[in-house]
Amino acid sequence: MDFREFLDRHHDTIVGEWKRRLRSEVSPRYSSRPIREYDQTINAAYDAYYNALVFNDYSRIDEVVQEIGKFRFEAGFTLSEVQKAFEMFGYLAIPRIVKEMAGSVPETIAAIDRIRVCLDYTIHLFSDFFQALSEKEIRNYAQMLEVKVRERTQELAESEAKYRTLVEEIRDGYFVNQDGRIVFSNKAFSYMHGYTVDEVIGRPYTDFVAPESLDEVVKTYKSRIEARRAREHYVYYRKHKDGSCYPTENKVVMTVYEGKQAALGICRDITERLEIEKRVREAENLAHIGEITTSLAHEIRNPLSAARMSIQMLLKSDSFKGHEKRRLEILAQEVGRLNRIVSEMLDFAKPMKFSLRPGSLAELVASCLEAIDTRILEKDIVVTRTFSGKLPSVSMDHEKMEQAVINLLLNAIEAVEKKGRIGIAIKRMRGARGLAVHITDNGHGIDPGSMPYIFDPFFTRKTKGTGLGLANAKKIIEAHGGRIEIAPVEPAGTRVVFTVPAAKDL
């Protein structure tokens, strides 16, 4: 990953979006700040991440934390607000990296890890910096107690309240473990485990560790207590009150709390981070499947084409009649079916290229129905069309969209019995510029156990088919900026709904 080229190219876009979201999404305090202040702080933060990612130089991040941290602390900002503002860089940069590097999964993972390291470094640095500032204030107040005991006692109380506010509002869990029991917890730590603060205080720390991580966490804790020597950072599974377990990152150091040795820790939920890594690995597996599929499909298609041509030539000959000719016709049908399967596999495996132009979705659906009219007549299916008034045009690749619609219609035809019913409706989307296409049948429906997997490639309950029809349809519709959903209807049947934005939205 060439971070220099990536960051140079996306500088204006990321900085602009960062400013907008900082003013609208973080907190009222950020919303009230002047624009010129954002120009200074966001560009300084961007430059700091640039130095870290391009030159592996974190010194600028140290300077920015000192400069902006002190400024925000003095302006009354909480640690949680400042951390959220800086984490926004990751929310803006990572999706762009995943999109641009979709073909190179290992590099994508490495690039995301680099950004995560920078973000984690920044967040922990802010935590330490804010804590140091608060502790410094407390020490200053304590030194003046001899001169103005009563006055400074009040100031000390205010400072402690301010420090506790910082700890309470931090999004990470903050706790103190003394003699194997939790003696202090902020709201975030309690919430992460499904308890109130009062329920947490006094409980053994082992109550909050999942069984699969318990031995390792206990071993680490004993090592830290007995020898003051153990890993500060480690990952484990925490246990929620409802029995569920979640991946968590912990940073623990030894300290003195109310005159006794204790372990002070900050824990962070990393479920989202691991989920992103899982999706990247799944994308890598699908890419590998795609490569194999493409290779096999090309190897199969050539002999299929030769076989199909030979059969067509034999059918034109008068040498085959009766049952022999019928066998050749069946063979031709089966070769055609194999060729369609190979085409589906190639469509799924290869990247899609679109040629978008405005067009009528109603006309396209009508054309698709004409293309499969023979299949409809074979089952004597009643097809009803309901197209709302004057519909806006949509920008689409006509060939690809026809492929998606025909796949969905063929599924409906296969689902219904003879003299079954299929309804097709095109409606304007409520509250949005676009169209929604409803395809409803009164067929046998979809098994509820299969519903979560119907869009997965190669998943099918049919005796014939590749399981790529719905996967390809979803891929095409989402590439147009739309969505697709499938749900059962009462008393029997299935409804497919997909959306396509109107032309001006694309």
Least confident of 260-264, 293-297, 301-305, 457-461: 293-297
Instruction: Please give the share of the chain, as a percent, with pLDDT higher than 90.
Output: 25
Most confident segment among 90-104, 291-305, 448-462: 90-104
Q: Residue 400: its pLDDT value, please?
A: 86
Q: Residue 62: its pLDDT value, please?
A: 92
**Which SS3 state, helix, strand or coil, does residue 399 take?**
helix
- Assess contact for 317 and 356: CB atoms under 8 A: no
Band of pLDDT at residue 163, cut at 50, 70 and 90: low
CA 124 to CA 334: how far, in whole Å?
64
Q: What is the pLDDT of residues 56-75, one digit of tens each?
A: 999 999 999 998 888 888 88
Peptide bond into 491 cis (omega under 30): yes
- In this prediction the pTM is 0.39
Q: What does pLDDT average to over the chain?
A: 82
**What are the backbone dihedrals phi and psi of residue 442, each rounded to the nearest 5 degrees, phi first?**
-110, 40
pLDDT surpasses 50 at 506: no
Instruction: Please give the share of the chain, as a percent, with pLDDT higher than 70.
Output: 80
- Assess contact for 349 and 287: CB atoms under 8 A: no
Q: Residue 505: its pLDDT value, please?
A: 43
CA 61 to CA 312: how far, in whole Å?
72
pLDDT surpasses 90 at 29: no
**Which SS3 state, helix, strand or coil, does residue 58 take?**
coil
